[in-house]
Amino acid sequence: MPSTSDSVKVAVRVRPFNQREKNAGSQCIISMQDKTTNIKNPETGDIKSFSYDHSYWSHDGFKETPSGVSEPDGSNYADQKRLFSDLGQGVLDNAWQGYNAALFAYGQTGSGKSYSMIGYGANKGIVPITCEELFKAIDTSSDNKKQLRVFFSMLEIYNEQVRDLIVKEKPPHGGLKIRQNPKSGFYVEGLKQVPVRSYKEIEKLMESGTINRTTAATNMNATSSRSHMVITIRFEQVLVNDAGQSNTRSSDINLVDLAGSERADSTGATGDRLKEGSAINQSLSTLGNVISALADQAMGKTKVLVPYRDSVLTKLLQSALGGNSRTIMIAALSPADINYDETLSTLRYADRAKKIQNKATVNES
Ligand code: ADP
Ligand code: MG
């Protein structure tokens, strides 16, 4: 079976200033040169540099903002279409070859994770564009010996509870159980996997799922920025030969919009809110620990224990991190001096993630 070893690919993307930052007269502390992203400490003027697979501003609109933008040629500007052609197209190519793929977005609340992944209005994000292109390719596929099938699922992890976003639930939510299959690893028992025949069907499911996510959060007096959302597209190619034997090539594409990476203490949470915050941080901080352990492993450290089992998120993402998957991380950043601490911590996180080595094998049976 064909297989490849590859590191996790990392792209950072800086959103434009928001109104609050403009009102505060914020300065831009990010500059870019090719793959390098630099961040300036607004107090000391000290500059730290990081190199990634891609360093992006969001789009040309950024040129109009006040200060500090240093690369006039525009090569680091990426609108949603470029995000798809640089990153999403590869995910699709992998899926056709039978590799699993994962794409996840990391960053503080308001940094542009959902914008990049899902998008707003006409500015469709990488997930809908990828789904749309998948169906374009399916619809123009001329190989009529092959049966092509797509399944869609969408879940949320909140407070270490898993909730199906395709099903309308009344509170209390969640409670789906995680089980382990000796061959394929962890999965969510009873999660709806909806067969879909067109992009339109996916679009509808994503819309209602997004509404379910927001409504549930409101019912619990929380915000959806504290939950992790995982969309899985399963793509199957069934080939039946003349003797009637069938061969299935499959690919799971995991698309993950993570909870805001800011620490509970910086949001002023206390009491119940803090407890909830720390449970959410259990998934996020375990993700951090898993990434650190895998980075250590890749740097040659031996006997590293990778704590996948310490959170729901890392159980479900096990194959995406150090396993059978080709994985991409988008780190979303604010340009503003007032977010220096969070932005630096996101850059460091992304720097560790890029060291992770995955070994992907074609899924064929
Ligand atoms: P997050 O999901 O990280 O909490 P959002 O994606 O919801 O953040 O972004 C916060 C706000 O910033 C939204 O109003 C969004 O439209 C805007 N925004 C984020 N990224 C961009 C971008 N790349 N270009 C334009 N606006 C953006
Ligand atoms: Mg969001």
Q: Where exactly are the structural domains of the chain?
A: 3-364
Q: Which ligand is nearest to the CA of 261?
A: 1
Residue with tokens 């899926």: 95
Asked if 104 and 256 touch (Cβ cutoff 8 Å), the reply is yes
pLDDT score at 73: 58
Which residue ranges of the chain lie beneath pLDDT 70?
59-74, 169-174, 216, 218, 220-222, 263-281
Ligand 1, residues 12, 104, 115: which to mutate, most atoms within 8 A of Cβ?
Answer: 115
Nearest to 104 by CA among 93, 94, 114, 89: 114
Ligand 1 cavity residues, CB under 6 Å: 15-16, 18, 58, 107, 109-115, 120, 225, 260, 332
Per-residue model confidence (pLDDT) at position 66 = 42
Which of 229, 237, 234 minimizes the C-alpha distance to 253? 234
Res 245: pLDDT: 86
List, by residue number, the catalytic residues.
Answer: 110, 112-115, 257, 260
| Mutation pick for ligand 1 pocket among 14, 15, 156 (CB with most ligand atoms within 8 Å) | 15
DSSP 99-143: --EEEEEE-STTSSHHHHHTEETTEE-HHHHHHHHHHHHHHH---
Q: Which amino acid is at 71?
A: E
Distance 4 CA to ligand 2 centre (A): 32
Say if CB 20 and CB 332 are below 8 A apart: no
CATH 1.10.150.120 assigned to 3-364: no
Measure 257 CA to ligand 2 centroid, in angstroms: 7
Residue of the CA atom closest to atom 10 of ligand 1: 110
Q: How many C-beta atoms lie closer than 10 Å to residue 71's C-beta? A: 14
CA of 250 to the centre of ligand 1 (A): 33
The answer, yes or no, to whether ipTM is higher than 0.90 is: yes
Quote the ligand 2 centre to 115 CA distance (angstroms).
7
The 8 Å CB, 24+ separation contacts for 188-193 are 188/155, 188/162, 188/164, 188/316, 190/164, 191/153, 191/155, 191/162, 191/164, 192/153, 192/164, 192/166, 192/167, 193/151, 193/152, 193/153, 193/232, 193/234
Q: How many CB atoms lie within 10 A of CB 7?
A: 15
CB contact burial 176-206 (16+ within 10 A = b; e otherwise): beeeeeeeeebebeebeeeebeebebbeebb
Cα distances (Å, whole numbers) of residue 118 to 64, 80, 206: 25, 10, 9
Instruction: Pick the ligand that lies closest to the CA of residue 61.
Output: 1
pLDDT of residue 280: 52
Kindly state the tokens that stand for 210.
Answer: 């997004």
Give the whole-angstrom CA distance, residue 64 versus residue 346.
25
- Nearest partner of 333 among 7, 8, 5, 12, judged by Cα: 12
Structure tokens at 92: 């699709």
Both tokens of residue 334?
């604010």
The number of the ligand nearest the C-alpha atom of 111 reads: 1
Closest CA to 336 of 26, 9, 18, 16: 26
pLDDT at residue 285, rounded to an integer: 84
Q: What is the pLDDT of residue 279?
A: 54
Tell how far the Cα of 119 is from the centroid of ligand 1, in angstroms: 8
User: What is the Cβ-side half-sphere exposure of residue 249, based on CA atoms within 13 angstroms?
Assistant: 16
What does the pLDDT read at residue 276?
Answer: 52
Pairing state of beta strands 357-361 and 246-257? unpaired
The pLDDT of residue 170 is 64
